[in-house]
Amino acid sequence: MKAGTRDRLGSILMLAFVAALWAQRDYMTPFGGIFPDIVLEIMAGVLVVTLVLSFTPYAAMKETGEKKEEAGKTNWKDMAVVGGILLAWALLLQYLGFALTGIVGFGGISWYLGGMRRDVKDAGRCLLIGIAIVILMVVVFQRLLDVPLPPGKIFE
C-alpha cells in the first residue's frame, strides 16, 4: 500500500473514531468537558492536516524501500479486528463506563496483537495490562485533573 493511501485511510478511520466519541459526549459538570473537548478538537485538527497533506508531496508517511516479499501484504484482518474493538469501545462507553470498556478494550487489543491468542497465561497478562492502564488513567484524570470519566449507565 502506498504511503499516501495509508495516510488517507488512517486519517479517515481516526476521524470516524473521534466523531463517534464526540457524538457521545455527556458530562456531569459544566467544566468537566473542557479538557476532553480540547483533546478531541486537537486530534481532529491534526487528522485533517494529515489528510490534506496526504494529497501533497509533504505527506506524513514517506515511501520506504520495503522488502519485496512484504510489499503489498497488508494484514486487513488485524486492522479490521482492532478497528472493531475500538468501534465497540466507543459505542459501549456510555453504557458500560470507562473502567469496564477500558479493561476489555486495552486488554483485548494487547491480547490480539500479542500473537499468542491461545495461551491462557498470555490472556491473563493482557488483562492485567488493561487493568493497569485503566487504573493509571483513572488516577490521572479523576484524581489529578479532576475530570470525571463516564461511570456507565448500568452502574448509575
Higher pLDDT, 80 or 60: 80
The per-residue pLDDT for range 25-40, each reduced to its tens digit, is 877 777 777 888 888 8
Question: For 70, which DSSP code?
Answer: T
Cβ atoms 11, 47 nearer than 8 A: yes
Q: Is the pLDDT of residue 60 over 70?
A: no
What would the grid cell of residue 142 be?
A: 479523576
Contact status, residue 145 vs residue 36, Cβ threshold 8 Å? no
- pTM confidence score: 0.54
